[in-house]
C-alpha cells in the first residue's frame, strides 16, 4: 500500500547527498514529488562514527535509505590511500546498514561498483562473476569493502528477511563530480586538464597510461533514475549491475573530451601511470529485464557536464 513510489511523503535518507551520485538522486526524487528527504552533510553527521549514526536513526526514523556516501576516487587515489579506502568504506556501510535495520527502515539500497569483479572476468560481466577470481590491484581495498557491503545486505536479508538491495554502477560522471587533478576519475580529470590547457593556450595535454584500457561510462542522471527504479521494483538477494552497455577506450574518451572542450593541441601519454583493469564492461541485462534502460549518450552527457563545469567549477 505504502510502496516507495506511492508514498511520496516517506522519510528517505540520502546519505552522501552532496556528492556526484547523492546530488543526482536528490534531484530525481525532488522532481518526482518526494517531499521528505533527510539530508545531512559530512560535517553534520560523520557516518564513520557509530554513535552519531545510531543517534541519527533513532531520532529521525527514516523509512527508506539510499547509501551513496563513501570514500571515492580514481585509480591514483585508490592506489595511494588503500587504508582509507578499506577502513572508511567498511565503517560507513557497517554503521548505516546496521542502524537502518535496527531502526526498522523498510528498505535500503547499497551502492557498490563494477570494480568488485575479478580483473579477468569474462566480458560482459554478469552478476554471478562475483568472487570467481583475483581483483585488480589498484583498487582491491575499495573493492573488498564494496563486496563486504553486498554480503552484509545479503546476510541481513537471509537472517532477518529484511529488504536490503545492492546496485553495482559502472564508471559514472556528470554534474557535481570531483575534478581534483590527481584524485578524481579519468573523465573529470581530463575535462579539467583540457579546459585549463585551452584557456592557457598549452600545446599538449598529458593523459595517463597507454590509452588502451576500455571503460563503460554512465551519466549520473541515468544512474539516479535506475536507483529510484530499483527502490520501487526490485527486491532480491543478488546485486544488480547498472551500466550503459557501451565501452570506449581511454584514447577514444580522451579524443571525445578534447573535442567537447575545444582543445586544439596534442595528447601525450604518460606510461609511468597505471592502466588499471584492462576492461570491465558489465552485463546489465538483468536490469533491462526488469524494465530499465539508460537514455543519455556519452557525447550528450559530456556536453552537459562541460556546461555544468563552465558554470560552477572553472576559475
Ligand atoms: N563515481 C563513480 O564513478 C562511481 C561511484 N560509485 C559509488 O557511488 C557512491 C557515490 O559515489 P560518488 O557520488 O561518486 O562519490 P562522491 O565522493 O562524489 O560523494 C560521496 C559523498 O559521501 C560523503 N561522505 C564521505 N565520507 C563520509 C562520512 N564519513 N560521513 C558522511 N558523509 C561522507 C562525501 O562528503 P564529503 O565530500 O564532505 O566527504 C560525499 O558527499 C559510492 O558508494 C561509490 O562507491 C560506484 C561506481 C562508480
Ligand atoms: C569507478 C572505478 O574507478 C576506478 O577505476 P578506474 O576505472 O581504473 O579509474 P579511473 O577513472 O581513475 O581511470 C580509468 C583509466 O583512465 C586512465 N587515465 C588517463 N588519464 C587519467 C587521469 O588524468 N586521471 C585518471 N584518474 N585516470 C586517467 C587511467 O590510467 C585508467 O586506465 C576505481 O579505482 C574505483 O574508483 C572504481 O570503482
In this predicted model, what pLDDT tens digit does every residue of 141-152 receive, in sequence order? 999 999 999 999
The mean pLDDT value of the chain amounts to 97
* Best mutation site among 51, 72, 191, 276 for ligand 1 pocket (most ligand atoms within 8 Å of CB): 72
187 alpha carbon, closest ligand:
2
Provide the pLDDT for residue 2.
63
Mean pLDDT of the 44-61 span: 98
CA of 199 to the centre of ligand 2 (A): 24
308 CA to middle of ligand 2, Å? 21
Q: What are the pocket residues of ligand 1 if the criterion is a CB atom closer than 6 Å to any ligand atom?
A: 16, 18-22, 42, 45-48, 68-72, 92, 111, 113, 169, 171-172, 178, 185
Judged by its nearest atom, the ligand closest to the C-alpha of residue 173 is 1
> Is the predicted pLDDT of residue 315 greater than 70, yes or no?
no
Q: Is the pLDDT of residue 227 over 90?
A: yes
pLDDT for 29 beyond 90: yes
| 277/117 Cα distance (integer angstroms) | 10
How far, in Å, is the centroid of ligand 1 from the Cα of 69?
4
Number of the ligand closest to the Cα of 145 = 1
Interval between CA 97 and ligand 2 midpoint (Å): 28
169 CA to centre of ligand 1 in angstroms = 13
> Where residue 62 falls among pLDDT bands split at 50, 70, 90?
very high
From the candidate CATH numbers 3.50.50.60, 2.40.10.170, 3.40.50.1980, 3.40.50.720, the one assigned to the domain spanning 12-176+217-245+279-297: 3.40.50.720
Q: Whose CA is nearest to atom 31 of ligand 2?
A: 275
User: For the segment 238-287, what is each residue's pLDDT rounded down to a tens digit?
Assistant: 999 999 999 999 999 999 999 999 999 999 999 999 999 999 999 999 99
Per-residue pLDDT of 283-308, as tens digits, reads 999 999 999 999 999 999 999 999 99
What are the residue ranges spanned by the domains of the chain?
A: 12-176+217-245+279-297
Q: What is the pTM of this model?
A: 0.98
Inter-residue contact 274 to 209 (CB < 8 Å): yes
Residue partners of 201: CB distance under 8 A and separation at least 6: none
Q: Which of 17, 19, 153, 219 to mutate to test the pocket of ligand 1 (most atoms within 8 A of CB)?
A: 19
Q: What percentage of the chain carries pLDDT values higher than 90?
A: 97
Express as a percent the part of the chain with pLDDT over 70. 99
Give the position, in ligand 1's atom list, of the atom nearest the Cα of 115: 47
Q: 83-119, pLDDT tens digit by residue?
A: 999 999 999 999 999 999 999 999 999 999 999 999 9
Residue to substitute in 14, 15, 20 for testing ligand 1 pocket (most ligand atoms within 8 angstroms of CB): 20
Amino acid at each position: 500500500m505504502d510502496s516507495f513510489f506511492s508514498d511520496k511523503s516517506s522519510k528517505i535518507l540520502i546519505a552522501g547527498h552532496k556528492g556526484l551520485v547523492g546530488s543526482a538522486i536528490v534531484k530525481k526524487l525532488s522532481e518526482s514529488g518526494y517531499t521528505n528527504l533527510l539530508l545531512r552533510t559530512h560535517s553534520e553527521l560523520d557516518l564513520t562514527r557509530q554513535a552519531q549514526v545510531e543517534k541519527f536513526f533513532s531520532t529521525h526514523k527514516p523509512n527508506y535509505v539510499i547509501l551513496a556516501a563513501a570514500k571515492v576516487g580514481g585509480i591514483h587515489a585508490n592506489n595511494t590511500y588503500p587504508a582509507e579506502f578499506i577502513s572508511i568504506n567498511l565503517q560507513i556501510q557497517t554503521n548505516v546498514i546496521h542502524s537502518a535495520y535496527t531502526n526498522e527502515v523498510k528498505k535500503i539500497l547499497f551502492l557498490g561498483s563494477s570494480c568488485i569483479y575479478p580483473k579477468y572476468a569474462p566480458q560482459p560481466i554478469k552478476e554471478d562473476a562475483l568472487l570467481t577470481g583475483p581483483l585488480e590491484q589498484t583498487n582491491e581495498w575499495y573493492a573488498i569493502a564494496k563486496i563486504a557491503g553486498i554480503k552484509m545486505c545479503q546476510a541481513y536479508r537471509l537472517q532477518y528477511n529484511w529488504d536490503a538491495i545492492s546496485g553495482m554502477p559502472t564508471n559514472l560522471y556528470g554534474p557535481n563530480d570531483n575534478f581534483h587533478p590527481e584524485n578524481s576519475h579519468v573523465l573529470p580529470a581530463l575535462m579539467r586538464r583540457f579546459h585549463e590547457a585551452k584557456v592557457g593556450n598549452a600545446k599538449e595535454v598529458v593523459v595517463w597510461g597507454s590509452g588502451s584500457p576500455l571503460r563503460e561510462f554512465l551519466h549520473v542522471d541515468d544512474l539516479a533514475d535506475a536507483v529510484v527504479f530499483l527502490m520501487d521494483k526490485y527486491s532480491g538477494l543478488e546485486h544488480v549491475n547498472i551500466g550503459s552497455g557501451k565501452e570506449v577506450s581511454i584514447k577514444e574518451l580522451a579524443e571525445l573530451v578534447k573535442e567537447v572542450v575545444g582543445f586544439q593541441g596534442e595528447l601525450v601519454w604518460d606510461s609511468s601511470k597505471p592502466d588499471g583493469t584492462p576492461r570491465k564492461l558489465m552485463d546489465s541485462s538483468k536490469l533491462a529485464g526488469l524494465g530499465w534502460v539508460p537514455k543519455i549518450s556519452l557525447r550528450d552527457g559530456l556536453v552537459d557536464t562541460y556546461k555544468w563545469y563552465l558554470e560552477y567549477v572553472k576559475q
